[in-house]
Amino acid sequence: MNEQPRSAPESTTHFGFRDVPVAEKQKLVAQVFTSVARSYDLMNDLMSFGIHRLWKRHFVAVSGVRRGDRVLDLAGGTGDIAALIKPVVGDAGEVVVGDINAAMLEVGRDRLTDRGLVGGLRWAQLNAEALPFPDHSFDAVTMAFGLRNVTDKDKALTDICRVLKPGGRLLVLEFSRVQNETFGKLYDFHSFKVLPKLGQLFAGDADSYQYLAESIRKHPDQQTLKGMMERAGFGRVDVRNLSGGIVAIHRAYKF
**Distance (Å, rounded) from C-alpha 240 to C-alpha 247?**
9
Q: What is the pLDDT of residue 45?
A: 80
- Residues contacting 194, CB < 8 A, separation 6+: none
Question: At how many degrees (to 10) do helices 206-218 and 22-36 cross?
Answer: 130
**Distance (Å, rounded) from C-alpha 243 to C-alpha 50?**
13
- pTM, full prediction: 0.87
Query: Is there a domain that residue 96 lies in?
Result: yes
Query: Is there a domain that residue 101 lies in?
Result: yes
Domain total of the chain = 1
Query: Is there a domain that residue 160 lies in?
Result: yes
Residue 105's domain comprises 13-34+48-176+220-254
Question: At how many degrees (to 10) do helices 40-48 and 206-218 cross?
Answer: 60
pLDDT, averaged per 10 consecutive residues of the chain (255 residues), comes to 52 75 76 75 77 95 97 93 96 96 92 92 96 98 94 96 98 94 88 86 82 86 97 98 96 97
Q: What is the pLDDT of residue 7?
A: 47
CATH number of the domain where residue 76 is located: 3.40.50.150
Residue 237 CA: distances (Å) to CA of 106, 117, 172, 245: 33, 32, 11, 17
Q: What is the pLDDT of residue 169?
A: 98
Q: What is the pLDDT of residue 206?
A: 85
Query: Is there a domain that residue 186 lies in?
Result: no
